[in-house]
Each structure stands twice: as structure tokens, then as C-alpha cells.
Amino acid sequence: MKDFNSKTAVVTGAASGIGLSIAKKLAEEGMQVVLSDIDKVSLEESVKKLKQNKYNVTGITANVLDKNSVELLFESSVERYGNIHILCNNAGITSDPGGKAIWEIEKQDWDWIMGVNFYGVLYGLQAFVPHMIEHGENGHIVNTASLVGLIPISRDPYGISKKSTIALTEYLSLDLIQRNANIGASVLCPGFTNTNLAKSENNRPKDLKLNNTIHNGDTEWDELDTFLKQGKDPKEIAETVYEGIKENIFYIFTHPAWDNNIRIYLEGILSRGESPYSLMNQLDDFLTPREDGEQY
């Protein structure tokens, strides 16, 4: 997709972090942008700031965990701007399994994480893709996954949801090609980024809250937040996403420091060897800063 001016984009999870930066970048390129998020207060603040800079944006509160809410987001976006050209399914959350094995993690965690990170993406596709195909204009879809969806260092619902999103986007791309749709597809796989991911618990629905907390109070979340604050600036991620859309790049990798780890993991698969976990001791230590300044 080369022409962005006066076209329309919808970005979920856009109140802050990567989503907000993508929305701002697309607005800078002349697009009309719908920013959507479950956090109404933060969303309104972000939209207000963008409007002060004369960007053509609007905010629509939506919960991607709820299929009906996503459908209303679609209807409201079309009513506001007409044809939708770019869809960024970016909303995402995480949880802390407290060191539990996958078979010990409570159903509430699975329902919440998979509901937002996987089904939230699927609901977005179901709501927007038929419309994008029907109007026939050039378009693009970006689904946000993670590099931990490629390499199993996050042995919890978060990592599994991101691996599922990668697979979903791969099959989405095949379907779009087979139907000769003028729509490109990308899966965004960032490394550690300065976002509010550690504040995910603030948006957990009441019916999916755990009876007994499985994480060690606020300290563990504070540690994750401190760690993520050392990650890449979301503005850098947004620039890479923009180039990915423009050049129709499927796998959008934003952290080159991970390239060696990806190579080791894929070579391990082709070697028909042991469990992927046996490869972990060969990977670079992503907790240790690189001498070249690149961030994991």
C-alpha cells in the first residue's frame, strides 16, 4: 500500500504505547485514524492531544474481548469515515502465571489472555475484512504478535496467544491472496518495548478475576514495568510498521538483536532434535545489554 493520504485506519489498543504511536504515524501521513481502546480516560486524553496537532482522528471505546463490541467499532468507524483501508489489531495484555506450568494455570487466565490477544484479533478480522474486500480499494492489515510468539521463552498464555496470532496471520495472508484481494497482511513481532503491558491487570473483567491471586503482589508487576521501560521507544516500532505496510512486508521485526536467536530456534527445528527448550541455553541473554547498543 503506497497511498495513505485521506485513507482511513483503525487501530486497537491505541490509548498508549505501540498502538498510539502507530495511530500518530498514520495520521502524520495524512490518514483519518480511529483510535480504539478499553481505557476510555486514557483514550480520550490521547485523542485530544492528537487533535490539538490538527490530526484527523477520533476515539471509540471498545473491548476486543467482546465480539459485539468489535462489531460496533466497525460500524461506528464506517459511519464516521466511510471505507476502512488499514486495520491494526494491536490490543494486547499479559498475566503473571506465578511460575505455574501450563496445565496449572487457571481457566480465567486462559480465557482472558487468549480472549484479548487471539480472539480479539480474530473478531477484528471477522468484522472488518469483508468490508475491506468488498470496497476493493488497496488496504492492509497488521496483527500485533511478539517475538516470544516465535521463540518459546514465555511459557504462559501470553506466549501461546502470540504464537497463535502469528499462525492466524499466516493463514489470513493465504486467504487474501487466494481471493485476489487488494489487501496486504503483516504480523508485527516486536521485542521488549516501552509500553504499559505491565498494567494489564487494570483491565481484567470482574468475571475473569482469580479467586486467589497467582502473582506476588505489585512488586512483580513493578519489576516488569521497570524492565519494559528500558525497551525500545514505541515511536521506533511505529516507523517500522509504516515501512512494513508501505512495502507489504509480512513479518515485521523491529528488534534486530533477536535475529540470531530466531536463527538458532529455526535451525533447531530443522535439525529434528530435542524439545525447543533444549535450545534456550544457546540463545543470547536478552537480559544483558548488547555492546552495540541494540535492544532486545
pLDDT tens digits, 148-203: 999 888 778 999 999 999 999 999 999 999 999 999 999 999 988 888 887 888 88
Per-residue pLDDT at 7 exceeds 60:
yes
Cell 482511513 locates to: 8
Work out the average pLDDT over 55-81.
Answer: 99
Residue environment code for 59-95, b if the CB has 16+ CB neighbours within 10 A, otherwise e: bbbbbbbbbebbbbbbebbbeebeebbbbbbbbbbbb
pLDDT tens digits, 273-294: 766 666 666 665 665 656 666 7
Per-residue pLDDT at 295 exceeds 80:
no
CATH architecture of 8-254: 3-Layer(aba) Sandwich (3.40)
Is the model more confident about 83 or about 221?
83
Q: What is the mean pLDDT of the chain?
A: 90
pLDDT at 202: 86
Do the beta carbons of residue 245 and residue 31 sit within 8 Å? no
pLDDT at 218: 62
pLDDT at 192: 86
Compute the distance between CA of residue 47 and CA of residue 34 in angstroms, rounded to an integer. Answer: 9
Work out the average pLDDT over 72-97.
Answer: 95
Is the model more confident about 230 or about 6?
6
Per-residue pLDDT at 65 exceeds 60:
yes
pLDDT at 279: 62
pLDDT tens digits, 41-51: 999 999 999 99
Per-residue pLDDT at 123 exceeds 60:
yes
Report the interhelical angle of 157-178 vs 120-135 (nearest 10°). Answer: 20
Per-residue pLDDT at 213 exceeds 60:
no
pLDDT at 286: 61
Question: Picking from 22-31, 127-136, 192-201, which range would have the lowest pLDDT averaged per residue?
Answer: 192-201
pLDDT at 216: 46
Q: Cβ contacts of residue 235 below 8 Å, gap of 6+?
A: 21, 25
Domain boundaries, the chain: 8-254, 260-296
pLDDT at 280: 63
Per-residue pLDDT at 220 exceeds 70:
no
Do the beta carbons of residue 59 and residue 66 sit within 8 Å? no
Q: Which three cell numbers stand for residue 279?
A: 535450545
Three-state DSSP at 10 gives strand
